[in-house]
Chain A
Amino acid sequence: MKLLLKIWRQKNAKTKGSFVSYQMDNVSPEMAFLEMLDSLNKRLVEEDKDPVAFDHDCREGICGSCGMYINGHPHGPVPAITTCHLSMRFFKDGETVWIEPWRAKPFPVIKDLIVDRQAFDKIQIAGGFISVNTGSAADANSILVPKKNSDEAFNSAICIGCGACVAACKNASAMLFVSAKISQFALLPQGRIEAIERVRAMVAKMDEVGFGNCSNTGSCEAECPKQIKLTNIARLNREYFKAY
């Protein structure tokens, strides 16, 4: 099939970017979206032009590296998957495909479709851990956790840190990301001990790096490739009030 790609090209953080059109004539519906971009890049290298830069690694939906804003959706129009799992069979022959980087002040564009997501790491460094030294843990079964809590903690812990929630939110808010981590620890007895310090530190860092405020729109939940729930945000709010 034939597609017209409109890709955001920006040489580096300092220069201005713009959309560049690329006509793709031989796209197979069996290709994955990133493989379609691979084939574009192959062509560009053969023409001695600068290939399109984008983050990608595991290509199986778990590392959280890939992420681009495709036709109005983070990770493209198919729900609950990452860009690397997006198949070209979901596009129509002759379609125009807009490909943009994540847009948020704390995620500045580095080059083309690559953005800097270290703001997420900073939030995790602020308090996204349990303080236990190697070798000092008690026997694993000495901590009993109700299966319900453990399963719920897992459902929050599966966040891949891709940033789609921020990209989707009209306020570029990171509440879904932060709440997923807070929830995971809040639901486990191991995590309760530092619950107060954790939520204070992580929320303070989230505000400091410049994410927007949550207005309960729910676009994060709708676009999250791992289907992390909005209930996490309510839990984060509760945890935050409890901390003061």
Chain B
Amino acid sequence: MNKILFSSISKKFVMALAGLFLLMFLPVHLIINFMLLKSNPGPFNEAAHFMATFPLVRIAEIVLFCVIIIHITWGIMLQIQNWLARPVGYVSGSKAETSFFSRFMIWTGAIVFTFLMLHFFNFYFIKIGLVAGNPEDFYSVAHNLFKVPAYDYIYLSCFFLLGFHLYHAFSSAFQTLGLNHRIWTPVVKVIALIYAILIPIGFASISITLWLFR
């Protein structure tokens, strides 16, 4: 059984499914974030409150956490095996013409993970009481954070790199799941590109607006 669950292809399969799930979560988060643009903190805080208390969302949250953890541990596991598979590298490097983004998934992933930690520290830990703050007013927390230029720089660059991660992840997940098609694969690639551009731009636009224009 272990052989099946932990074969290279199965691990990739788990990685891809978890990744696709996370891809679905991002637009939801983005929609809620757009409420930050309103001058009235009500809708955002209500949405946040709803997300924090509604039972079904609570379950989804647990699932989300599990998926994040799986995606990260599996990712690290795969990466370590990949490094072990080539103990000695090439002096002349690799000049193969390949997708640039795919080569740095572990690093873009690691940066996104670091950001996630920061994000937890700023919001989630308040919610569970680890850090002082008012969990019922994340609107103000967010607005205050975006007024700190350093935070904006970090935020923007992380989303820029997230875009790289998403671009390869999106189409790669389909390939790993064996969903390959003469016509649809190129379409998936275009959607991946659009997705990988729109999501970071969406998040970034909020941060830039709040930082520079409010």
Contact = CB atoms under 8 A, between A and B. Distances in A.
* Direct A–B contact in the complex, CB atoms closer than 8 angstroms: yes
Interface of A: 6, 19, 69-73, 77, 98, 100, 103-106, 168, 170-173, 175, 203-204, 206-207, 210-219, 222-223, 230-231, 233-241, 244
Interface in B84-113: 84-99, 102-103, 105
Contacts of A241: 13, 177-178
Contacts of A77: 95
Contact of A171 (B9, B85, B180): B85
A237 B86 contact: no
A236 B9 contact: yes
Nearest to B75: A215
Given A100-B90, A217-B99, A212 B178 contact: no
Contacts of B81: 171, 212-213
The interface size bin for chain B is 35 or more
A170 B84 CA distance: 11
A4 to B, nearest CB: 13
A237 B13 contact: yes
Q: Which of B78, B84, B92 has the most CB of A within 10 A?
A: B92
Nearest to A19: B91
B87 A105 contact: yes
A215 B8 CA distance: 10
Chain A interface secondary structure, helix, strand, loop or mixed?
mixed
A170 B79 CA distance: 10
B176 interface: yes
Contact of B175 (A106, A223, A234): A234
A208 B146 CA distance: 50
B9 A105 contact: no
A171 B82 contact: yes
B71 interface: no
Contact of B96 (A175, A216, A223): A223
B122 interface: no
Contacts of A217: 98-99, 102-103
B98 A222 contact: yes
A244 B175 CA distance: 18
Contact of B9 (A70, A106, A240): A240
Contact of A216 (B88, B168, B179): B168
Given A19-B91, A215-B105, A238-B178, A104 B86 contact: yes
B127 interface: no
B96 A73 contact: yes
Q: Which of A170, A172, A211, A231 has the most CB of B within 10 A?
A: A170
